[in-house]
């Protein structure tokens, strides 16, 4: 049974937020307006599902009362299984919606891919991964903008940073962070031997200015010319921006925008995301072993997936899932894989919640 008392409180909180968002003092307070808007968005589907659940329960009770009416008994009896089926489905849906939410789920995302061990083959694999995510973004109707890219001599990618914006981008891509390993015969291998290479992927939720405050005195800004493939200059003006956050040593480069001002703004976006990730990682390190064991980990030192070309196989090591559809996956068909990761994560959360009694707050 769903916790009706808690859901009643959440529904009341939703109505309270609706009223608060109409107040002038909230509309002029950007930080509070943003916080309340996100809380309302987080509750919308849950409150609507609960309202439908209550309506169905009322209909079911009414139909059961009609079972004593000789004229309406047959009609009422026929509707009961359908009502009970929809109630059961909503029961499961509400249980999932009550799980603790990641506050970053609705955010846009910084996608960072770097070639790892394996030399030029690793750079070619990094390029394949970037193309895979680019095609998936196109399928989802997302916007992907390259911020900076460093190409390798053989046509691969040493490093690429891109902003991905759209509906629930972070929620979809959040489990992609980690070491991706490839097993295949490189184009330069004359004897047909399979080589193993790797690339790292980072998925960083975009941080708002209200999330991360940056003191301008902590920044070192260097202006350079944008570079093309192989280091060839493609911009004679100093429009590219190298940004260093001195306290943390984090460095960011943005060169793909048309103006120095735009590159600086994009570099600040990425820096805020990296600082937010650092703060959240430190916070996560203090959480108990139950939470750390979940798929949520984005540790880039952890090998998360293997792409085996000879066997057309992709294996996600975190959930023990193997799919013999590598050709479709690298072409951008990530839906089955990402759905399996989200389902596993939800099952872990349900188990954790059941063991600890943790649930969605109402504050």
More confident residue, 298 or 326: 326
pLDDT at 363 over 50: no
Tell me the β-bridge partners of 110.
163, 204
Collapsed DSSP state (helix, strand, coil) of residue 96: helix
pLDDT at 286 over 90: no
Mean pLDDT (whole number) for 62-84: 91
* pLDDT-derived band at 214, boundaries 50, 70, 90: confident
Mean pLDDT (whole number) for 292-297: 39
Using only C-alpha atoms, the chain has a radius of gyration, in whole angstroms, of 25
pLDDT at 295 over 50: no
User: Average pLDDT, whole number, for the chain?
Assistant: 84
Task: Note the residue count of the chain.
Answer: 363
**Are the beta carbons of 147 and 240 closer than 8 angstroms?**
no
Query: CB neighbours (10 Å) of residue 187?
Result: 10
Query: CB neighbours (10 Å) of residue 54?
Result: 15
Query: CB neighbours (10 Å) of residue 3?
Result: 14
> Which CA distances in Å does 66 have to 73, 78, 238, 255, 266?
6, 11, 79, 71, 64
More confident residue, 169 or 238: 169
> Which stretch of DSSP H or E encloses residue 25?
helix 24-27
**Domain formed by 105-358, architecture:** 2-Layer Sandwich (3.30)
Cα(143)–Cα(163) distance, rounded to whole angstroms?
8
Tens of pLDDT, residue by residue over 56-72, are 999 999 999 999 988 88
pLDDT at 359 over 60: no
The pLDDT, as a whole number, for residue 288 is 41
pLDDT at 356 over 60: no
Tens of pLDDT, residue by residue over 99-142, are 777 777 778 899 999 999 888 999 999 999 999 999 999 999 99
**Are the beta carbons of 254 and 241 closer than 8 angstroms?**
yes
Give CATH 3.30.70.1660 domain extents, the chain: 105-358
Distance of CA 186 to the CA centre of its chain: 31
More confident residue, 277 or 332: 332
The pLDDT, as a whole number, for residue 34 is 87
Mean pLDDT (whole number) for 80-103: 86
* pLDDT-derived band at 330, boundaries 50, 70, 90: very high
pLDDT at 292 over 60: no
Mean pLDDT (whole number) for 75-99: 90
Top-ranked range on mean pLDDT: pick from 172-186, 238-252, 284-298: 172-186
* pLDDT-derived band at 233, boundaries 50, 70, 90: very low
**Are the beta carbons of 198 and 184 closer than 8 angstroms?**
no
Cα(44)–Cα(66) distance, rounded to whole angstroms?
33
């Amino acid at each position: 049974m769903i916790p009706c008392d808690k859901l009643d409180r959440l529904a009341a909180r939703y109505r309270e937020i609706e009223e608060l968002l109409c107040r002038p003092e909230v509309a002029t307070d950007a930080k509070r307006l943003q916080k309340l808007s996100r809380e309302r968005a987080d509750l919308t589907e849950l409150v609507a599902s609960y309202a439908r659940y209550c309506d169905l329960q009322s209909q079911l009770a009414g139909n059961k009362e009609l079972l004593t009416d000789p004229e309406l008994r047959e009609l009422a009896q026929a509707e009961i299984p359908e009502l009970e089926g929809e109630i059961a489905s909503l029961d499961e849906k509400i249980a999932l919606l009550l799980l603790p939410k990641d506050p970053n789920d609705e955010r846009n995302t910084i996608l960072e891919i770097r070639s790892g061990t394996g030399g030029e083959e690793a750079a070619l694999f990094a390029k394949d991964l970037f193309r895979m995510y680019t095609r998936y973004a196109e399928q989802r109707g997302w916007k992907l903008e390259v911020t900076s890219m460093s190409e390798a001599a053989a046509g691969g990618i040493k490093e690429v940073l891109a902003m991905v914006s759209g509906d629930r981008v972070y929620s979809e891509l959040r489990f992609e962070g980690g070491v991706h390993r490839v097993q295949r015969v490189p184009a330069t291998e004359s004897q047909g031997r399979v080589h193993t290479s790797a690339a790292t992927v980072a998925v960083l939720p975009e941080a708002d200015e209200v999330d991360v405050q940056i003191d301008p005195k902590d920044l070192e800004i260097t202006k350079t010319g944008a570079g093309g493939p192989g280091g060839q200059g493609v911009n004679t003006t100093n429009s590219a921006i190298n940004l260093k956050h001195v306290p943390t040593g984090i460095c960011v480069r943005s060169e793909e925008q048309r103006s120095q001002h735009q590159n600086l703004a994009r570099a600040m976006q990425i820096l805020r995301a990296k600082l937010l990730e650092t703060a959240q990682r430190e916070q996560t390190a203090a959480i108990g072993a139950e939470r750390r064991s979940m798929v949520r980990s984005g540790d880039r030192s952890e090998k998360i997936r293997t792409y085996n070309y000879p066997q057309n196989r992709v294996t996600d090591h975190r959930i023990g899932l193997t799919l013999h559809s590598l050709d479709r996956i690298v072409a951008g068909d990530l839906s089955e894989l990402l759905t399996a990761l989200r389902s596993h994560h939800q099952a872990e959360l349900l188990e954790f919640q059941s063991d600890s009694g943790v649930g969605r707050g109402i504050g």
